[in-house]
Structure 1
Amino acid sequence: MITGFLSLLCLGLCLGYDDEHKNDTLPRPSLHALPGSVVRRGGNVTLKCQGPLQNVKFMLGKWQAPGYRREWSSAGHDAGFLLTHLGPEHAGRYFCAYKTAGSHVWSEQSEHLRLEVTDNHDRPGAPSAKIDSRVIFVTAFSCLAIFLLFPTVFLIYRRSQSGESTETPIETAGEGE
């Protein structure tokens, strides 16, 4: 009887260890933002977590926000987490993980995805309201240089012209006497 009990105990421990070992080696999921990771304020984005297994529960988390956690069971290989009416508080680094139906242990976290929420004028392709101070300096310096260059060239030209005209009549006047 003790032998049977020890055999069952050993089998249970081995199966429990094997189940935990499988969860440790679950492949890492991937996380993508649709339509992109830079979203204007008030807009929407879908964070799509993809894993290699079907019929799993996905979890979306936010780095340095332990209270942020969304879960979604999926019959497929992925789950989409829709974030709507985005504001500055939604910006940050997100990650996802998954677990199988019979497991209590989550897979390794995906690579972190950085979500940026911008004002309308800051979105890619729109003119930016922020101007780099170096651009202002170079533009001002170039305009000043051009502004000073033309009068300098004009003065040099006038001096060279007036110098020739005063010497010519004197030489001509000396030769004529």
Structure 2
Amino acid sequence: MLSPVLVPRPSLSLHPSQGVSLGDTVTLRCHLPRLAAWVRLYREGRLSYAKRKKKEQDAAEFSFVSTLQEHAGCYQCQYRVSESAEVSVKSDPVELVLTDVRYPPSSISLHPEQHVGTGTNVTIRCWNKDYGATFLLHKDGTSAPIQRQNSSGGGTATFTLFGVTPADSGTYRCSYRPWRYASMSSPLGDSVMLEVTPTAAPPGAAGSSHGNLVVVVIGGCTAAFVFILVLIIFFLLSARRHRTQRDESPGGEGVKCPYFSVDPLKRPSGSPIISFPSVF
């Protein structure tokens, strides 16, 4: 068997992508970044189908005209490059989930009911007969489930939406997948409607906020004025102290005199040697 080498990975898509029931027609399309001679389709890691692709095509399709329970599962595709030994790695997996109407839809409840304010925690409870299943929470307009949870005792799952906002408003439903058949699903059950309203600001909040802003600005200006005044006084006192020290220093001008001495060879006869100590 040829071992995969580094060639571009294909991608796999499902048509339709969701809501496929037993008996429906579904197509898996393997998109190819390079010309390929053979395309293989794997289900649950095992080779299921292989087909030769025409050179002008950039995709290979595998269709089930009437889906059966054994068609449900996780699929990947792979290709071999034309006239070479190059084999791609497998595509990212795509799951074909089939809806079986023999599973009764789950029930659903909402707490608090329907109308809530922003920031509220909302609980959505789903239940069925105790099949032992994974529940999925769906929101209308969203393609994928937004949450999933294994059922607790009694065939119940509880989903919590924390601190809801108006974006969480919408219609919610539940489905479930029996643990024994993870790629089989019940139909969507009854719906609940959630409406999140923005929490109104208390009366006078805007005026209070404006007043607080004015106080902050005035306080900041006052602090800046006091700081500048302190700096001015400090510099004036420093200048005065420096001037006083200069006036009191030897020489009157405050200039340091360097060390020097009179050369004894050049002094007048009988004159004493005059030397000044170093000021350094």
TM tier relative to shorter chain = 0.5 to 0.7
The residue number in structure 1 matching 2:97 is 116
Whether contact under 8 Å (2:14, 2:29) holds in the other structure is yes
Q: What pairs up with 1:71-90 in 2 under 5 angstroms? A: 71-75=51-55, 76-90=57-71
Q: Residue 35 of structure 1 corresponds to which residue in structure 2?
A: 16
Greater strand proportion: 2
Q: Report what 2:106 is aligned to.
A: 130
Cα pair distance change 1:53/1:70, threshold 3 Å: same
Structure 1: which 4+ aligned runs deviate by more than 6 Å? none
Given the alignment of the two structures, is residue 69 of structure 1 paired with residue 49 of structure 2, yes or no? yes
Whole-angstrom CA distance in 1 between matches of 2:37 and 2:47: 22
- 5+ residue gaps, structure 1: 1-19, 123-127, 138-177
Normalised by the size of structure 2, how large is the TM-score?
A: 0.35
Q: Is the 8 A contact 1:51 1:77 kept in 2?
A: yes
More helix by share: 1
Give the distance between the partners of 1:37 and 1:70, measured in 2 at CA.
Answer: 24
Assess if the C-alpha contact under 8 Å between 2:8 and 2:34 holds in 1.
no
3-state SS in 1 of match to 2:79: strand
Cα deviation code 1:7-38 (max 9, x no counterpart): xxxxxxxxxxxxx99x6111100000112144
TM-score (norm 1): 0.53
Q: Is the CA contact (8 Å cut-off) linking 1:33 and 1:47 kept in structure 2?
A: yes
2: distance between equivalents of 1:135 and 1:117? Answer: 20
Residues 35 and 82 in structure 2, CA contact (< 8 A), matched pair in contact too: no
- Inter-partner Cα distance in structure 2 for 1:87 and 1:58: 23
| Alignment match, 2:7 | 26
Letter in structure 2 aligned against 1:41: L
Identify the structure with bigger relative contact order (alpha carbons < 8 Å, sequence gap 6+).
Answer: 1
Residues 36, 82 of structure 2: 8 Å contact kept: yes
